[in-house]
Amino acid sequence: MKHTLSVLLQNKPGVLSRVTGLFSGRGFNIESLSVAETLDESVSSLTLVTRGDDAIVEQITKQLHKLIDVIKVTDISEGEFVEREMVLIRVKAESNTRAEVLRVIDIFRGKVVDVSPKSYIVEVTGSTTKIKAIIDILKPIGIKEIVRTGTVAMARASKS
Amino acid sequence: MGKINGSQAIIKCLQEEGVNTIFGFPGGAVIDLYDELLDSGIKNVLVRHEQGAVHAADGYARVTGEVGVALLTSGPGATNGVTGIATAYLDSIPIVVLTGQVPTALIGNDAFQEVDIVGITRPCTKHNYLVKEAKDLVPTLREAFHVARTGRPGPVLVDLPKDVVATMIKFPEKTPIRMQTYQPTYEPHMGQVEKACKAILKAKRPVLYVGGGVILSNSNEELTQLAKRLNIPVTMTLMGLGGFPGTDPLSMGMLGMHGSYTANMAVSKSDVLIAVGARFDDRVTGRVDAFAPNAKIIHIDIDPTSISKNVKVDIPIVADCKHALTAMNSWLDQAKDLNEDEIKTKHEPWLANINEWTEKHPMGYTNEGETIKPQFVIETLSKLTAGDAIITTEVGQHQMWTAQFYKFNRPRRWVTSGGLGTMGYGMPAAIGAKMAFPNETVIDVAGDGSIQMCIQELATAKQYGCPIKIAILNNNYLGMVRQWQELFYDKRYSGTIMEVTPDFVKLAEAYGAVGLRATKTSEVEGVIKKALATDNTVIMDFTIAREEGVFPMVPAGKATTEMLLV
Ligand SMILES: Cc1ncc(C[n+]2csc(CCOP(=O)(O)OP(=O)(O)O)c2C)c(N)n1
Ligand SMILES: [Mg+2]
């Protein structure tokens, strides 16, 4: 089962390495990880996507919490949440494929952020499924390079 | 108050924490600190290898319950300490290790004797710090001690760049430590306590399974009270020995790989298993799905990650063992309609059952004339020290025989590397223990292999007039590994025969210590008596039955009921 964890950490040197070291040392897997400062610059927020059965995810959550620099761990995939990822794709765009590429980007509500004679850099934001879908569609046209941010996620506010 | 330099501030911090002895080894990166130490009133024990310093600090911590302190220089000094740090980590022992570091401006430059010790020890410390600015020095040290001793204790390393330690600072006043991100749970959830007590009262075949957490939290009395008021039999892990009196009729001794037949059978047949400060280690559980298969499991532990890590727990109680046991005892005190005598009577058939197991397969061995049996040496040691010496060990068969045959009646008398199983631990740990309690008898039960790993600390023992006794159970083998080869590898003794071993008697003498030897059963008692009466460091070299094995034994990965008996 895929789980998306949101982790608040002290923004100090070495903290990220404590987190990643915990995962490698204990054989937990990291599917994606993204980290940046929060409004309070002494705190970082980290979104981590991992896979495992309930017992493993329970261990991961507890072990993360045990790290002294970790402030809060939430398995946001337990409730309603929004997840987004951004990808930059350098895609072949020559005279015979440009129109096709633009059409696809339009469907995915992506943007062309750089143009060169033979390629575009395309920016697309969305859920992991959407990112995967556009990559699959552009692949036959010719993807030269991709860079993904990893998932960031936020729990939805309760509706009641 | 005026300014003082970083070294002076460190010394003041140590004094604030009540530290009067540290174990260390100097070098360029800590030379300033050593200079200040000289007139500080803090005793610096100069070891012969940094591993010894950390083990000694660890031994000191185990017997006193205080934080042990080691001071090492940068680079190789620090890396030499890593085995000691990992040893303390796996057994949750509170120590603070101070390491020198190259000046901040040189960090990352591969400077002389620079290593990223904070990076290296991240996975084997409870927490660690690199102090980059002088203003952080004192708060960091205070936090380090706080983290080491609270919650589930553990080693904390503080890396001290040379320039930081040389900076003049104002010594900040001590304020209560408040760490937003670190607040261990000491108090149990009362709902869980009630559930646990009710489950225990309903049990027909309850067992208390006691680990090192009981020792670390000083809750042996609360535990004993709980066991006795309801007549619940008790088994202890290697780390839990001494948590409940070993000579009490309710004690079933140790469980697990080399546990007693009784303890392993009782756990496997129990209907309620009460784990107190234990962590369901693989050496205890054997094949996990066959461990206490019919029991409702109650688990008290201050570390939430221990709960349901290896074995699914039915009633978890996250709390300090002392607080949790106290809460359980007072719940029972107040329980209406509770007739404790009735409960005790209800447990009688279960206790009878347990006694039958013990009668069938007691913890024993057979004497063979004048060939010294190792178990006999341990029994004799136990007898001649009234079961009340501080016993440290190395790692191997001798360690297991000691665990099986020395009857510990009090906590903090048993000092052994359980989690990491570090050969070389026992002698430096004995020095640490003896430094803490100079008037107590301290004995390192050693193997001929292990003792050679930190043998140089004999010089430390001598230098500080530290008359520890070392009892080598000499089988001229790396015996524990040999035993596995005998049982599971067709007696193919690969790498376990030590063809060259020093003459330990002469070796002791070379260090100015006393060497004694026994090669016959009839000499054992005399040698031990003489060693105990000698006011010097003594090595006793016992030539033991070479291929004696440790039994019972649960082969790795088997169910604990599948014991090999003698
Ligand atoms: C530092 C270290 N290296 C290797 C081992 C693996 N090991 C466990 S017991 C043992 C044999 C110990 O031999 P000895 O000290 O003579 O004790 P005996 O088993 O013979 O009593 C070995 C090699 C270990 N525990 N620690
Ligand atoms: Mg040996």
Report yes or no on B198 lying in a domain: yes
Q: Of the candidates B334, B360, B386, which is a domain's last residue? A: B360
Residues B454 and B397 grouped into a single domain: yes
B366 inside domain? no
Confidence of residue B100 (pLDDT cuts 50, 70, 90): very high
Same domain (yes/no): B397, B451: yes
In a domain, B56, yes or no: yes
Q: How confident is the model at residue B1 (pLDDT cuts 50, 70, 90)?
A: low
CATH of the domain at B242: 3.40.50.1220
The token pair at B437 is: 């309690």
Mean pLDDT of B266-277: 98
* Ligand 1 centroid to residue B383 C-alpha, Å: 26
Q: Judge if pTM exceeds 0.95.
A: yes
Question: Which ligand has its closest atom nearest to the C-alpha of B481?
Answer: 1
Residue B555 lies in a domain: no
Q: Are residues B446 and B387 in the same domain?
A: yes
Q: Are residues B482 and B536 in the same domain?
A: yes
Q: Which residues of A35-55 are buried (b: 16+ CB within 10 A; e: fewer)?
A: beeeeeeeebbbbbbbeeeee
If asked whether residues B140 and B214 sit together in one domain, one would say no
Q: Which of B118, B119, B305 sits opposite A66 (nearest CB)?
A: B305
Interface membership of A42 toward B (CB under 8 Å): no
| B170, B198, B229 - which closes a domain | B170
For residue A117, the model assigns a pLDDT of 93
Active site residue B423: no
Q: What is the pLDDT of residue B60?
A: 98
Q: What is the mean pLDDT of residues B73-94?
A: 98
- Local confidence band at B345 (pLDDT 50, 70, 90 cut-offs): very high
Question: How much is the average pLDDT of B466-492?
Answer: 98
Domain CATH number, residue B76: 3.40.50.970
Query: Mutating which of A66, A67, A70, A71 best tests the B interface, going by the most B Cβ atoms within 10 A?
Result: A66
B7/B124 same-domain check: yes
Q: Say yes or no: B378 and B350 in one domain.
A: no
- Residues B7-30 have pLDDT tens digits of 999 999 999 999 999 999 999 999
Of A151-160, B103-112, B216-225, B245-254, give the lowest mean pLDDT range.
A151-160
Q: What is the DSSP string of A1-63?
A: -EEEEEEEEE--TTHHHHHHHHHHHHT---SEEEEEE-SSTTEEEEEEEEE--HHHHHHHHHH
Which residues sit opposite B308 in a β-bridge? none
Task: Determine the residue of chain B that is closest to A24 in CA distance.
Answer: B123
B327 and B415 part of one domain: no
Among B121, B181, B301, B310, the residue to mutate for chain A (most A Cβ within 10 A): B181
Domains held by chain B: number: 3
Q: Which whole number is the average pLDDT over B239-259?
A: 97
Judge if B526 and B382 occupy the same domain: yes
> CA of A65, closest CA in chain B: separation in Å?
9
Give how far A21 is from chain B: nearest CA, Å: 7
CA-to-CA dists, residue B124 to A22, B166, B213, B536, angstroms: 11, 28, 19, 36
Q: Domain range spanning residue B120? A: 3-170
Which residues in chain B touch residue A26, judged by CB atoms under 8 angstroms apart? none
Determine the average pLDDT of the residues in B471-496: 98
The pLDDT of residue A159: 76
Residues of chain A whose pLDDT is less than 70?
none
The region of weakest confidence among A155-159, B160-164, B400-404 is A155-159
Ligand 1 contacts (CB < 6 A) are B 394-398, 421-424, 447-450, 473, 475, 477-481
